[in-house]
Structure 1
Amino acid sequence: MRRVEHIMGLPISLRIDGEDVEGDGDGGTSMAADQAFAWLREVDARFSPFLPDSEVSRLDRGELELHELSPDLVEVLDLCEQYRVASGGAFQVRMPGRGLDPCAMVKGWAVQRAGDLLRAEGVTTFCLNAGGDVVSAGRPWRVGVRHPEQADQLCTVLEIADGAVATSARYERGDHILDGRTGRPATGLLSMTVVASSLTEADATATAAFAMGVEGIDWAAAREGCEVFAVDAERRVLRTPGFPVAA
């Protein structure tokens, strides 16, 4: 089963293979997919800083007190604070002169939760891809990482099963990742790819490391359970020994 929807400003695709599709007439699988995509649409409506009625926008305008926040938003903001501290301030969701924007945390967290929903509904073999950030389960899946300067080429292909991979780079949205320590666009890296057990960890770590610049490579590599593939501004490729390059 294959399905694609445009949510959170990007295409999100789901592929489900094997016995999860065979034998049930696709009904149970379709219901699980419906739940996963409904969750992602709900997250977009509640947490987008670009929607004036979202929970995030209302908090940013001072219309909500902390004790009035949903448990989900409290969890997201707690995670943001953890990565802010761990990165020495490079990872920030509230920059000076800008509104609250937790998107750097929300996407990975939400897509990981969607994967967890699929598992809870008995789906065991799937690949959920949110604009190149992937949650996979059930069998090895091959994931290509786009070359940071040549859109029609890959710089590596990896293979993951029951895990996640995320890439932060400039090539889709330009200098959109800011170093929270300076407030300026992050420099030093062209792309940062992180493999971890969850997309929450992989995506936030990739974003924080990219914001940190070259020092972010060692920082990300030192995080428990993370493997790293990075291209720096000098076009050097750096890879941890355990990074799962496809054969």
Structure 2
Amino acid sequence: MRRVEHVMGLPVSLRIDDAEIPRGLPDRVYAWLREADERFSPFRPDSEVSRLDRGEIAPGEVSTGLAEVLAIGERYRAATGGAFDLRVPGRGLDPCAVVKGWSVQRAADLLTGAGVRRFCLNAGGDVVVEGGPWRIGVRHPEQAGGVCAVLELTAGAVATSGRYERGDHILDARTGRPAAGLLGVTVVAPTLTEADTVATAAFALGPEGIAWAAGQPGCEVYAIDAERRVRRTAGLPLAGPAAA
């Protein structure tokens, strides 16, 4: 089964290779992603996030899901010394850096919880896989359509942060200015919640973010700095030369 829908402002594709798929499961996956977008988007005035930011609901009254997202954001804010923050000076609350990976990982959990053994869930290039081997290309930060590395995973998640899709959208919250010093950071982790948040936080930190990300539990890193030097951890699951 293969399916693609536009959710959260990006294409989300789902591939399931199992011979039997529980009835209605793909519908539930996409329904959850649409629900997460409606509830946690800062761009929707009626979302829970926007209502919290306007003071219409108190921090202690938020849903369990939003409380979890905010707690993740706070953990990484502290871990990066404030470079990563869901509140950037001069801007409102924006949990997108956590919500995307967190919500897609929960969608993947729906699949595994239903007994699906082999799938690939791809949200705009950030990927969760199960039942591999799967080969995942890392987009070249300066060559549209180019691939600078190929990873091979049996299970887990891959996320990349860079400026090639949306320009300087990742800010160093310590200064409020666009993060500098890196062209791209790719993180492999057990879950997309970790991979996506660590990649974004590392990019916000700049060059020091490479070593920081490499030190996060369960994470492997592939990064290209502003001088176009490649840095990667020893355990990065690179595919063989024939796959590149």
Report if TM-score (shorter chain) is over 0.5.
Answer: yes
Alignment of 1:201-212 (within 5 A): 201-212=194-205
Which residue of structure 2 lines up, in the alignment, with residue 32 of structure 1? 25
The one-letter code sitting in structure 2 at the alignment partner of 1:236 is R
* CA shift for structure 1 position 59: 0.3
Structure 1 counterpart of 2:93, from 76, 100, 125: 100
Asked whether 1:132 is paired with 2:125, we answer yes
Distance in 2 separating the partners of 1:99 and 1:161:
39
Structure 1 counterpart of 2:57, from 54, 64, 73: 64
Which residue of structure 2 lines up, in the alignment, with residue 6 of structure 1? 6
Distance in 1 separating the partners of 2:190 and 2:73:
18
Partner SS for 1:174: coil
Distance in 1 separating the partners of 2:210 and 2:77:
16
The one-letter code sitting in structure 2 at the alignment partner of 1:12 is V
Asked whether 1:177 is paired with 2:170, we answer yes
* CA shift for structure 1 position 152: 2.2
Number of residue pairs aligned between Structure 1 and Structure 2: 240
Which residue of structure 2 lines up, in the alignment, with residue 48 of structure 1? 41
Which residue of structure 2 lines up, in the alignment, with residue 229 of structure 1? 222
Q: Deviations over 1:152-182 (max 9, x none)?
A: 2101110112100000000000000000111
Distance in 1 separating the partners of 2:41 and 2:31:
15
Q: Which runs of 4+ in 1 moved over 4 A?
A: none
* CA shift for structure 1 position 66: 1.7
The one-letter code sitting in structure 1 at the alignment partner of 2:136 is V
Distance in 1 separating the partners of 2:194 and 2:145:
28
Distance in 2 separating the partners of 1:117 and 1:182:
39
For the Cα contact (< 8 Å) 1:194–1:227, is it kept in 2? yes
For the Cα contact (< 8 Å) 2:126–2:160, is it kept in 1? yes
Partner SS for 1:164: strand
Partner SS for 1:106: helix
User: How large is the RMSD of aligned CA atoms in angstroms?
Assistant: 0.8
Please give the TM-score of this superposition, normalised by the length of structure 2: 0.97
Asked whether 1:215 is paired with 2:202, we answer no
Distance in 2 separating the partners of 1:110 and 1:202:
13
Distance in 2 separating the partners of 1:178 and 1:198:
24
For the Cα contact (< 8 Å) 2:188–2:195, is it kept in 1? yes
Partner SS for 2:24: helix
Distance in 1 separating the partners of 2:215 and 2:93:
29
Partner SS for 2:167: coil
Asked whether 1:143 is paired with 2:136, we answer yes
* CA shift for structure 1 position 121: 1.0
Structure 2 counterpart of 1:117, from 102, 106, 110: 110
Q: Deviations over 1:87-142 (max 9, x none)?
A: 11111111111110000000000000000011111111100000000000011111
* CA shift for structure 1 position 224: 1.2
For the Cα contact (< 8 Å) 1:32–1:123, is it kept in 2? no
Distance in 1 separating the partners of 2:101 and 2:9:
14
